[in-house]
């Protein structure tokens, strides 16, 4: 056997290994989703969405849970978006490139990979107890904001870095101040990337369970929250609550709630992909 033949065989082996790897991932995921849909779809109805939770599985709905999720997500967005994007702009545009900034950079990257339960404990210690917010929507949103801030900061910086320096030069050479260049050129050009990062971070936040359980979302909440200091529960916590019940009917409820949660996440990711494509095709250098 000569070399060319061996290379061709290696080529084939590698190709089929790749195919098997991707197929196994897709298959397992489809089996999982298929199973959830099979179990849960019978329970999905308008009533399920607008009913309050109950001791009886058949009368139980996810109204308080998805209302809690909406409240949490709105507050998380308003807290994390300005802080994360602002920090990203500062680090990329204003921060001096010295030891301190590279120290900061490494730590932000590390924060992105800290387990979410740790953020939950931090939230419990700082927001719930020290600042006495209790297990409120505000405490939950602040905790989730901390969790996704590193992701938003990193993706903001990446998006800003991707703006060609020729645009910056052109603006500077016309006598624009630093802020004018950022506001009129850098941000519009990098907004698609920033938005994509923010939405992906938010769709991570929407599925987080552990940190919210720690700050106290795992309680029986009979009413939808009315203001940011109300107690709350969210979809993933409701699902967790239901699957841990012994009765079969509650597991079916959980499956139905998972379908709703997956739907919301897919829609958010879809929006992120759409925005990215839209802005990318608009900006070609």
Partner 1 sequence: MDSETTSKQPKTSNVETTSEMNPDNRSLKLQAKNVDVFYDDFQAIKKISLDIVEKSITAFIGPSGCGKSTFLRLFNRMNDNIDGFHMNGNILIDNKNIYDESIKVEELRKKVGMVFQKPNPFPKSIYENVAYGLRIQGVKDEEFIENRVIESLKQATLYSEIENNLEKQALSLSGGQQQRLCIARALAVKPSVLLMDEPTSALDPISSGKIEDLIHELKKEFTIVIVTHNMQQAARVSDNTAFLYMGNLIEYGDTQKIFTNPEKDRTQNYITGRFG
Q: Which residues bind partner 1 (CB under 8 A)?
A: 97, 164, 166-167, 169-177, 180, 184-185, 188-189, 282-285
Smallest gap, in angstroms, from Cβ of residue 169 to partner 1? Answer: 6
- Two structure tokens written together for 78: 């308003």
Smallest gap, in angstroms, from Cβ of residue 198 to partner 1? Answer: 21
Q: Per residue in 10-20, is it b (16+ CB within 10 Å) or e — as a string? A: eeeeeeeeeee
Candidates 205, 228, 195; CA nearest to 75 is: 228
Nearer residue to partner 1 within complex by CB, 181 or 203: 181
- Two structure tokens written together for 70: 């909406």
Nearer residue to partner 1 within complex by CB, 1 or 173: 173
Smallest gap, in angstroms, from Cβ of residue 166 to partner 1? Answer: 4
Nearer residue to partner 1 within complex by CB, 17 or 177: 177
Smallest gap, in angstroms, from Cβ of residue 177 to partner 1? Answer: 5
DSSP line for 226-245: -STTSB---HHHHHHHHHTS
Are the beta carbons of 156 and 85 closer than 8 angstroms? Answer: yes
Nearer residue to partner 1 within complex by CB, 189 or 275: 189
Which residues are within 8 A (CB) of 166 and not within 5 positions of it... i.e. 6 or more apart?
285
Smallest gap, in angstroms, from Cβ of residue 158 to partner 1? Answer: 19
Nearer residue to partner 1 within complex by CB, 156 or 181: 181
The phi and psi torsions of 231 (rounded to 5 degrees) equal -70, 160
Radius of gyration over alpha carbons of the chain, in Å?
Answer: 23
Nearer residue to partner 1 within complex by CB, 129 or 184: 184
Nearer residue to partner 1 within complex by CB, 10 or 282: 282
Q: At 159, is the secondary structure helix, strand, or coil? A: helix
| 102 alpha carbon, distance to own chain's centre | 26
Distance, in Å, from the CA atom of 19 to the CA atom of 11, rounded to the nearest integer, reads: 12
Smallest gap, in angstroms, from Cβ of residue 94 to partner 1? Answer: 12
Enter the DSSP assignment of 280.
Answer: H
Smallest gap, in angstroms, from Cβ of residue 171 to partner 1? Answer: 7
């Amino acid at each position: 056997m000569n070399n060319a033949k061996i290379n061709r065989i290696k080529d084939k082996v590698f190709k089929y290994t790749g195919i098997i790897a991707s197929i196994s991932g897709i298959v397992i995921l489809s089996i999982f989703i298929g199973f959830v849909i099979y179990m849960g779809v019978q329970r999905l109805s308008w009533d399920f969405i607008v009913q309050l939770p109950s001791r009886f599985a058949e009368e139980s709905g996810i109204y308080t849970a998805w209302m809690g999720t909406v409240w949490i997500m709105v507050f998380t967005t308003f807290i994390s978006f300005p802080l994360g994007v602002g920090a990203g702009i500062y680090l990329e545009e204003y921060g001096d490139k010295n030891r301190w900034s590279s120290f900061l950079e490494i730590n932000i990257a590390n924060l992105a990979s800290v387990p979410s339960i740790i953020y939950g404990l931090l939230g419990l210690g700082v927001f719930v107890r020290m600042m006495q917010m209790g297990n409120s929507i505000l405490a939950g949103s602040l905790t989730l904001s901390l969790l996704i801030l590193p992701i938003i900061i990193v993706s903001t910086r990446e998006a800003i870095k991707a703006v060609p320096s020729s645009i910056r030069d052109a603006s500077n050479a016309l006598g624009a101040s630093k802020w004018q260049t950022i506001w009129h050129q850098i941000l519009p050009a990098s907004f698609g990337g920033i938005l994509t990062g923010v939405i992906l971070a938010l769709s991570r936040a929407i599925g987080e369970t552990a940190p919210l359980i720690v700050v106290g979302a795992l309680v029986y909440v009979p009413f939808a929250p009315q203001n940011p200091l109300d107690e709350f529960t969210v979809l993933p916590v409701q699902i967790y609550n239901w699957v841990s019940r012994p009765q079969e009917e509650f597991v079916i409820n959980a499956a139905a709630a998972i379908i709703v949660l997956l739907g919301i996440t897919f829609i958010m990711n879809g929006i992120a992909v759409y925005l990215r494509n839209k802005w990318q095709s608009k900006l070609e250098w």
